[in-house]
Every structure is written in C-alpha cells, then in structure tokens.
A and B are shown apart, each in its own frame.
Chain A
Amino acid sequence: MKNSFLFGMMIVMLGASLLISLALGRYEIDLGTLTQLLLWKLLNIGTAPKEVMLLSNIVFDIRLPRILAVILVGAALSVSGGAFQAMFVNPLVSPGILGVLAGASFGATLGIMISDSWFGVQLFSFTFGFVAVLVALGVAKIYGRSGSQTILLVLGGVISSSLFSALLSTVKYVADPYNKLPTIVYWLMGSFSAVDMKTLSSVAIPLIFSTIALSLMGKYLNVLSLGDQDAKALGVHVVWVRNSAILLATLLSTLTVVVAGMIGWVGLIIPHIARFLVGADNRVLLPMCALLGATFLIIVDTLCRTSMSVEIPIGIATSLIGIPIFVFALKNAKKGFA
C-alpha cells in the first residue's frame, strides 16, 4: 500500500535525522562511535567507546533532551495546525488562530518581567495561552448561537490575538532595556537552547497524550470539515467534538510556547505537505503531520545550532524556510488543497 510505504519511509527518515542530529554539533561525533555508544548504553551490546563519560554527557545530557523536545514540539505544532485546518474548514489556518500563541507569548514575557525562575515563566506562558483561547471563545459566545460558529470563533481569535499582542507590546515597552528586554526579544524568536531534562519530563506526557488523542479524532474532524449542519445531521456531537479538539490543540500549542517560545509556520506548512503526500483524510493526515513536523523541525533545529558560530533563533529559521515552501504548496490550492 502506498500509505504504509510512506509511513515506513517517514519513520526511517525521522530515525535518521535523530541520529544525525545527535552526532552533529560543536563537538562532532562520527556515526560509528555514536552507534557504538547507543548500543552499549541502551542495549548493553558491545563495548564502551573511548572517552565514554564525555560522549554520554554530550549525547544523553545535552543533545538528547533538546532533540526529543524538538520532535515533540514539531509533531505538536503540525498536528494542532492540521486539526484546526480541518475544523475551521480553511487550509490557511495555523495553530495560533484562537489566540493561543499570542496569549502564551504575552504570558511568557510577563513571566520574564516579574518572575526570576524559569518555571515561573513557563507557568505564566501556559496560563495565558489558555486565557487567550477562553477570551476568543467568550467573544464568539457574545454573538450568540446564530450564524456560523466557525466564523465567530475566527473572529474571537482575531480579537484575542490582537488584544494579547497589544499587551505584549506594552510589556516590552516598559521592560528594562538592559536586563529584561533582550531576554524577551530572544525568547520571542524561539529557541530550544534552554531545554533540559526537567522541562522535557514535565511536558512530555501531556504533549504525547494530546498529539495521539488529536490524531485519533481524525474521522470526526473529517465530518466536521463538511460544516456543522452536515456533521450534526450525520449524527455527530459537533459541539463536543469541536471543544475537545480545541482543548487538545490549545494544550499542544501552549506547551510548544512553554518549551521553545514562538515557532511560526510549522503548523501551517506541514499539514499542506502532508496533505500533498497522503490526501485530506484526517485519519491518515494527522499521524503523517506528526512524523513530518518532527522530522522537519529536527532538521531546522540542527541547522540552527550547527550552521553558524552563534545559534540562529529557530523561529526565524522556520519562517525563512517555511515561506518559500508555502508559496510552492499554494500551487496545489486549485486542486482543493490535495
């Protein structure tokens, strides 16, 4: 089958990029030594390579947590983007549609301003991500039940995004320009450099759970993409399905901001590429989004940390790489976003 083959290919590519990314960096490890180290450390096969302490410190303590976080964030952004595109019946929607990214960014900058601990920043970011989505849902609710619910939600999202962007600017304006502002600006450009085992272990379970749960909602999202009335008449609890999907996608998006700041474009372009490969059926599309998103972000992050002597913020890289890909992907728009 064509799809099984594609999935097999993608899993191999994800594995390969994981290995290569583990090997590359300021201290380069050749693939032979890396394999020897992994076999010895994980499966107890073979012998320990030379300088095993140094090597395991680099591979397991420094690079692995970061790369695992990259995988989870790449998958999370892409799956939530794909799910939102299906739900809003609009292929131009990205995970930030309901204001979650603006809210989480505002929360994080506020956290940087008033809290000294990294955990505080993460907590603020997480909280305000959800607050922003609640604002969007609240605005949609004000306009009542008449009319198309999805358009009201988009409207609510636009308002909520603008509100939190304005608040974010306010915080930047009053932030101490020598101490706090550079941290804020750097953080807003997105980076995985601060990821450690502690961050990873606290976000891994919700990220994995939500990614899988959202992927499993594929068939309901298919029906939802026909519009509310059709879906209801087919016997689907539209409100229930939509709210669960919004909850899961919000959780995913907020956590990506908590881990790595603002990373744009991934959630918009990966679903397009995935759709190009496997078609629009969300049951297949969303798992493919997860694999593609993870692989894509590993490659970009590896480039970011190895191509220059200073690390390139990943948000800048994903935008610069994402825009041409998106322009190319739009060529398929005529075929119904195949």
Chain B
Amino acid sequence: MSFYSAENLYFSYNSTPILQGVDLRIEEGSIVSLLGPNGTGKSTLMKLFLGLLNPKSGEVILKGKPLQSYSIKERALHVSYVPQSTQVAFAFCALDIVMMGRIAFESWFQKPSKKDRDLARAAMERLGIVYLEKRIFQTLSGGEKQLVLIARSLAQGAKILVMDEPVSGLDYGNQLRLLETILKLSKEGYTFLKSTHFPEHALMLGGYTYALKDGHILANGLTCKTITEELINELYHTNIELKETVCGYPVCIPSFVHTIKM
C-alpha cells in the first residue's frame, strides 16, 4: 500500500497545462525534495498533494485512499502545510498562531482546551522556541516565523509536512538550522515533501529527489543518485560541476569561478 503518492497527475489553469502526467511516491518518514526552475509546477504539485487544488485527471493517494475521499478535517489530521510566508495583517502572538493548528479539532463554539494549549506549547518546546510565545508574529525574523509555522504543523498533529521553499528569505545560518530541524523531525518519523531552489540543500537532506521541468518529471530517485551535473545543467541552463569535497560530500561549482583570479 502506498503511503502518499500521485499517479499520472494532470493539471491546468484554464487552458495552460501545468502538470502533464506526474507520478510521485513518498515513503513514510522520508524527505522528498522537488527541484526545478521557476514556474515549472512545483507549487501546483504541492497544492494537489495538500488537496487545495483538484487534479484534472489522475489522483493523489493517501494511505491507500484517494485524497479527495478525505474530509477537510480528516486530511488536516494527516497532512499539514508550512507556507513560504504567511501574510498576517493583524497582531497575533506566536502562541496564537501555533494554537490555530488545533482548530480542526475544536468544536464550533468550544474554547481551546488545556490539552490544545499544552500541545501547542509542547510543539514550540520541541523546536526550542517557547521563548517566542508572547511575541507578535510579524515582528519575528524570517527564520523564527518558519519555526513558528512548523510548530503549528506539529501542533496540528499531522505527520506529513508539505513545505513550499522553506528556506527562501532566510539568512545562511537560519537556512542551515532549518534544514537541521527538518532532518531531526524526519528521524522522529515525520514525512516531508518540500520544494527547493538549492540542489545542495536536497543533497544535505538526502532522501529522494524529483526534478520537475515543464510539467514533467525529468528524473527521480535517491537524491545522491538523481542529482548529477547533467541534470542540474539541463534543469537550470547552467554550467556547473558537481565536485566531491575531501570528506566525500558533493558541492556545485559554477564554471565562471574559474575565470575569476583568486
């Protein structure tokens, strides 16, 4: 039984085809990175996996059942979404935002119970951000915001996290810390589907990679086998070399650095 997968997905906005026959399989507890140039359908693909959009044909299967057969609430039990940036026009504190992960589990007029509050706090504690709980969300740094949104997913209780370019807009240190958090959570059994603009980040996280171009899967498989010099150059029209460092770790080196005198 497939854990979380898509078979032969087609999707178009009006008459513009976006995805043309995409297959994608996600194993429980794995990290799947989506690579591909801008406007190639990564975000659309993730929205289909979240059930925010419905495919024109093909379907997404979650734990053996079509995703569309789940109710919105049931789906929220399994899959959560960590957006790239959440627009918050009003001053909510971080804990309020994390508590919103519990909304599907409260009944209409019920106040959040102590249990919900404890779950939200525990989620923040796991990510080491309890000290942010009373801060206003918009005043947080990009990295802190991402962590708060991940905490919201943990509070929601879903074991699958779909992340849209989680590191975009973060400084180098926060990027690395976020990747470390993803790795840590995946070791605890969480499953990740994320898009990224950095092949190196996919390499750091391991797992599986799907390279998407013009609505097709160009290559897929274990990240270390899939990401090659040829693939990156074809995907992004670049000219890079994939070199291994002394410790055997692959890095991308663009050809133009050779023309610069050190």
A146 adjacent to B72 (CB under 8 Å): no
A226 adjacent to B88 (CB under 8 Å): yes
CA distance A280 to B136 in the complex (A): 10
**What's the minimum C-beta distance from B157 to chain A, rounded to whole angstroms?**
10
Query: Which stretch, B55-63, B90-98, B241-249, touches the partner chain A?
Result: B90-98
Given contacts A91-B90, A336-B89, contact A230 B109 (CB under 8 A): no
Query: Which residues from A are CB-within-8-Å of B96?
Result: 222, 281
Query: Which residues from B are CB-within-8-Å of A223?
Result: 100, 103
**A141 interfacial by beta-carbon distance below 8 Å:** no
**A216 interfacial by beta-carbon distance below 8 Å:** yes
B50 adjacent to A233 (CB under 8 Å): yes
Interface members, chain B 217-238 (any A CB < 8 Å): none
CB closest chain-B residue, reference A338: B91
B87 adjacent to A89 (CB under 8 Å): yes
Query: Which stretch, B26-34, B74-82, B207-215, B250-258, touches the partner chain A?
Result: B74-82
Instruction: Bits for A143-171, please: 1 = Cβ < 8 Å to B, else 0.
Output: 00010000000000000000000000000
Given contacts A235-B103, A236-B103, contact A279 B86 (CB under 8 A): no
B81 adjacent to A219 (CB under 8 Å): no
CB closest chain-A residue, reference B138: A336
B75 adjacent to A235 (CB under 8 Å): yes
Instruction: Bits for A205-237, please: 1 = Cβ < 8 Å to B, else 0.
Output: 000000000001001101101110110111111
Query: Which residues from B are CB-within-8-Å of A222?
Result: 92, 96, 100
Given contacts A233-B52, A233-B81, A336-B136, contact A219 B103 (CB under 8 A): yes
B87 adjacent to A234 (CB under 8 Å): no
How many B residues touch A, CB cutoff 8 Å? 39
CA distance A222 to B138 in the complex (A): 15
Interface range on chain A (Cβ under 8 Å from partner):
20 to 34
**What's the minimum C-beta distance from A280 to chain B, rounded to whole angstroms?**
4
B90 adjacent to A86 (CB under 8 Å): yes
CA distance A91 to B88 in the complex (A): 11
Q: Which of A220, A227, A280, A336 contacts B103 (CB 8 A)?
A: A220
Query: Which residues from B are CB-within-8-Å of A305?
Result: none
Q: Which of B51, B72, B81, B89 contacts A236 (CB 8 A)?
A: B72
Query: Which residues from B are CB-within-8-Å of A219?
Result: 103, 106, 112
B13 adjacent to A146 (CB under 8 Å): yes
Instruction: Bits for A95-130, please: 1 = Cβ < 8 Å to B, else 0.
Output: 000000000000000000000000000000000000
Instruction: Bits for A278-308, please: 1 = Cβ < 8 Å to B, else 0.
Output: 0111010000000000000000000000000
Given contacts A230-B81, A336-B136, contact A235 B90 (CB under 8 A): no
Instruction: Bits for A258-290, please: 1 = Cβ < 8 Å to B, else 0.
Output: 000000000000000001000111010000000
What are 21 inter-chain pairs, A to B, with CB distance below 8 A? A89-B89, A90-B89, A146-B13, A146-B14, A222-B92, A223-B100, A225-B88, A225-B89, A226-B86, A229-B81, A232-B72, A234-B100, A234-B101, A234-B103, A234-B156, A235-B103, A275-B90, A279-B91, A335-B136, A336-B88, A336-B89
Beyond A89-B89, A337-B91: 4 further Cβ-contacts under 8 Å?
A232-B51, A233-B80, A234-B81, A275-B91
